[in-house]
Amino acid sequence: NAGVTQTPKFRILKIGQSMTLQCTQDMNHNYMYWYRQDPGMGLKLIYYSVGAGITDKGEVPNGYNVSRSTTEDFPLRLELAAPSQTSVYFCASSYPEVRAGGPFEQFFGPGTRLTVL
């Protein structure tokens, strides 16, 4: 298994441009997540999905959009890029619930480092 893969690894955008960050997992996980990581701030949840066709906002969704047409893929779209979106973006996935109320370990991709100039 490749686990969670993300492309690209690095990207530089100009203000106002748009792009899509790709995320794919091959573990058949229902749950997928997008985070951004800024220095000294930990990880902030942008969007998440509990299954194909179902997405919801996290803590910091403004300026981003997502879709989930398949179990494997969860792309993150940036429209009208702004310098505040300079960050490292991580995609993660969780395995299906083993028991009611059980914990969900999240598996992370290697990240995409995005700079908006």
Partner 1 sequence: AQSVTQLGSHVSVSEGALVLLRCNYSSSVPPYLFWYVQYPNQGLQLLLKYTSAATLVKGINGFEAEFKKSETSFHLTKPSAHMSDAAEYFCAVSYSGGSNYKLTFGKGTLLTVNP
Give 12's contacts (C-beta < 8 A, 6+ positions apart): 114, 115, 116, 117
Q: Does the footprint of partner 1 cover residue 60 (CB under 8 A)?
A: no
* Distance in Å, CB of 62 to partner 1, minimum: 18
* Range in contact with partner 1 (rule: CB under 8 A) among 14-22, 60-68, 70-78, 103-111: 103-111
- Is there a contact between 81 and 12 (Cβ–Cβ < 8 Å)? no
Instruction: List the x/- string, 15-34, binding to partner 1 by CB under 8 A.
Output: ----------------x-x-
Sign of CA dihedral 73, 5, 39, 94: positive
Q: How far apart are CA 80 and CA 61, in angstroms?
A: 14
Task: Note the residues at the interface with partner 1 (CB under 8 A).
Answer: 4, 31, 33, 40-43, 45, 48, 50, 58, 90, 92, 94, 97, 101-111
